[in-house]
Amino acid sequence: MKIATAAYPLDPLPDWAAYNAKLTEWVADAAGQGAELLVFPEYGALELSMLAGPAVAGDLEECLRATSDLMVDADDLHADLAARYGVHILAASAPVFDDAIGPRPVNRARLFAPGGGRGVQDKQIMTRFERTPWDVAPGGKLKVFDTALGKIAILICYDSEFPLLARAVSDAELLLVPSCTEALAGYSRVRIGAMARALEAQCVSVMSSLVGAAPWSPAVDMNVGMGGIFGPPDIGFPSTGVIAEGVLNQPGWTIGEVDLSRVAHVRADGGVLNHAHWSDQSGRDDAPPTVTLR
C-alpha cells in the first residue's frame, strides 16, 4: 500500500468553507497519488479555533472549547472524504471535552475508514505544557484497530517516547505517530521514538508533523518537523530503517510504499527477533544494585 504522511501548516481560516476546501484539497492530493492511508499531525485541528475569531484562538483556554465544539462537524467531513476517496484517514488530533472521561479536555486522534468505520485514540501521557498551564488530561485506553489495511495503533507524539505503551499495542503492524513539536530537539525526540518503536515491535511507524509559524495561537505558535515512514532495519526494509522522509519544515505529503507481509516475515525470521524476544527481559525490572567505585 501507499501511505501519505503530512507536514501540515496551520492557517488562520476565515470560515468553515475555507477549512472544508483545505482539507478536501489535501485528501484529494494524497488520494490522487495513490495513497490508501493518510496521516495528519497532532493538534492540527486547532486551526478551527480561528473560526471563533482571533481573540478566542489567541486564548489558551477558549481555543480548547472552540475547537472541541466543532469536532462533530469535522468528524463528519473526514468520514465523507474517506468514503468519497476510498481512503483511511487519521485526522489531525484535537482537544475534545468528553464528559465520560472528566471535566478537562483530552487530546484525541480520530481514525476514519472508507466503509464508514470510526475510531478514536486519546493521548496517554501529557507533556509539561499540556499539564501546566494548559491542563489537558490523559484520555481513554490504548487500542488496536483491525482495518482492511492491517492492524493499526496510534501513539500521539510524546506517547511514542515510552516503549511500554508501544508494547501494549505491539500486535499492530502499523504504528501512527501524529506529532506537534516546536523545536528541532522536540522533533528529533519524537522521530527517534518512532524509529525505536519500529525496531522494538518490528513494525512500520508513520510520523506526521505540524510545520511553520502560527502566531495567532499561543499553543502552537511555532512548529518544526516533517513526515517520515520507518521500519526495522532488517530483512525486507531499508538498512537505515527510513522508508520515506520529507524535507524539514516543507509543507506537503511524504509518500512511501509499504508491504505489511514484510512485517510478518521479519517478526518470524528476521536477522534479529526483537518482537519475539521482548519477554526475555522479564525478571529484569527490579532496579540493579548501585556499585560504588572510587
pLDDT tens column, 125-134: 999 999 999 9
Write out pLDDT tens, residues 89-126. Answer: 999 999 999 999 999 999 999 999 999 999 999 999 99
Confidence grade of residue 283 (pLDDT, cut at 50, 70, 90): low
Overall pTM > 0.75: yes
Mean pLDDT of the chain: 96
DSSP assignment, residue 137? B
Percentage of the residues of the chain whose pLDDT score is greater than 90: 95
> Under CATH, which architecture does the 2-281 domain have?
4-Layer Sandwich (3.60)
Split at pLDDT 50, 70, 90, the class of 281 is confident
pLDDT value of residue 36: 98
Supply the DSSP symbol for 204. Answer: E
pLDDT value for 66 = 98
Q: Which of the four pLDDT bands, split at 50, 70 and 90, describes residue 292? A: confident
How confident is the model at residue 290, as a pLDDT?
77
pLDDT tens digit string along 41-58? 999 999 999 999 999 999
Average pLDDT on 244-251 reads: 98
pLDDT value at position 294?
85
**235: number of Cβ within 10 Å:** 12
What is residue 289's predicted lDDT score, i.e. its pLDDT? 79
**pLDDT beyond 80 at 226:** yes
Domain ranges (residues) in the chain: 2-281
Instruction: Say if residue 285's pLDDT is above 80.
Output: no
Confidence label for 65 from pLDDT (cuts 50, 70 and 90): very high
**212, containing H or E segment:** strand 204-213
CA distances (Å), 6 to each of 54, 92, 134, 257, in order?
25, 10, 25, 15
Query: Would you state the pLDDT for residue 287?
Result: 73
More reliable by pLDDT, 286 or 224:
224
How far is it, in rounded angstroms, from Cα 52 to Cα 66? 7
Return the sign of the alpha-carbon dihedral for residues 156, 157, 158, 159.
Answer: positive
Q: Express as a percent the part of the chain with pLDDT over 70.
A: 99
170-220 pLDDT, tens digit each = 999 999 999 999 999 999 999 999 999 999 999 999 999 999 999 999 999
Alpha helices per DSSP H over the chain = 16-32, 54-57, 62-69, 71-85, 128-131, 163-168, 184-201, 261-269, 274-277
Coil, strand or helix: which one is 287? coil
